[in-house]
Amino acid sequence: MSLSRCRIVLVRTHYPGNLGATARVMRNFGLTDLVLVDPVTSINELEARRMATHGLGILDSARVVPDLGDAVSDCVFTLATSGLADGVVRQTFVGSPREKLPELRNAAGAGPVALVFGPEPHGLSNAEVTRCHGLVHIPVDPAAPALNLAQAVAICCYELFLASGPISESVHEIAPFADQERMFDHLKEALEAVGYLFGTKADPLMHAMRHLIGRSRPTPQEVKLLHGLARQVLWMSTQVSPTRERGST
């Protein structure tokens, strides 16, 4: 069971021991692709090297990038992880590792996929969570809800490894993350222009739109179709005359 298309992304990691322990557990479960987004610590710290043990090769080959978008730009499917699952935004697409990780495995048939972990002090922001296609929350005792970062990685890698069935090539081509992001930005601009997104409801509505479209794993052709829709909506928004606007009020 190859997991070569499954990527682990650590965002702004603070503690070197978590870098090393992540590399070690990735080696345990057959993952090799590690990307670090704007890390606070370094893979060269002694504690990172000590904790990596048999995963030193993964640690040394880890790529460092400045932004989450750079880490997952080629991915066809991404899952964020968080110890916080409350709120309108997060509750709409959250699930346990056992529920969500088979979906990640299945999407790997179409291209690279990623599992994204946030910084130790506070985790991923809502803005970072909503850039992903789903959210993984590990159920724990509410009296002690905070898991160590490396422990969370270990649990998710274990569930990913156990996800049933081999990765098969998908007949459904999925547009890469970077292309989907440009489409969502275009749609957001169009929906703002016609007044659909405004005020305090703008962010929740756009999140719901992203989830609705992202859940279908759009193809490159479908992304182009949505770009065309956005262009037409933007054009129409410029055709409303001042006379019509005054008359409508």
Residue 181 placed within a domain: yes
Establish if 225 belongs to a structural domain. Answer: yes
Residue 170 is predicted with a pLDDT of 52
Q: How many domains does the chain have?
A: 2
pTM score, two decimals? 0.75
CATH number, domain of 217, equals 1.10.8
The domain spanning residue 64 has which CATH number?
A: 3.40.1280.10
Residue 96, pLDDT score: 95
Q: Are residues 127 and 20 in the same domain?
A: yes
Provide the token pair at 215.
């859940």
What CA–CA distance (Å, rounded) separates 105 from 163? 7
Block means of pLDDT (10 residues each) for the chain, length 249 residues?
A: 87 98 96 97 97 96 97 95 80 88 91 96 91 93 90 96 66 81 89 88 84 84 89 86 48
Q: Is residue 167 part of a domain?
A: no
Q: Are residues 16 and 119 in the same domain?
A: yes
Domain shared by 202 and 148, yes or no = no
Closest CA to 15 of 206, 148, 186, 211: 148
Where residue 40 falls (left for φ over 0; alpha for ψ -120 to 50; beta otherwise) is: alpha
Domain containing 91: what range?
Answer: 6-162
Question: DSSP state, 168?
Answer: -
State residue 133's pLDDT score: 92
* Domain co-membership, 208 together with 108: no
Query: What pLDDT score was predicted for residue 70?
Result: 96
Q: Is 1 within the bounds of a domain? A: no
Q: What angle do CA 16, 17, 19 make, to 5 degrees?
A: 65
Question: Do 221 and 150 share a structural domain?
Answer: no
pLDDT of residue 217: 83
Boundary (domain end) residue, out of 103, 134, 162: 162
Q: What residues contact residue 35 under an 8 Å CB cut-off, 6+ apart?
A: 7, 8, 9, 10, 62, 63, 64, 65, 71, 114
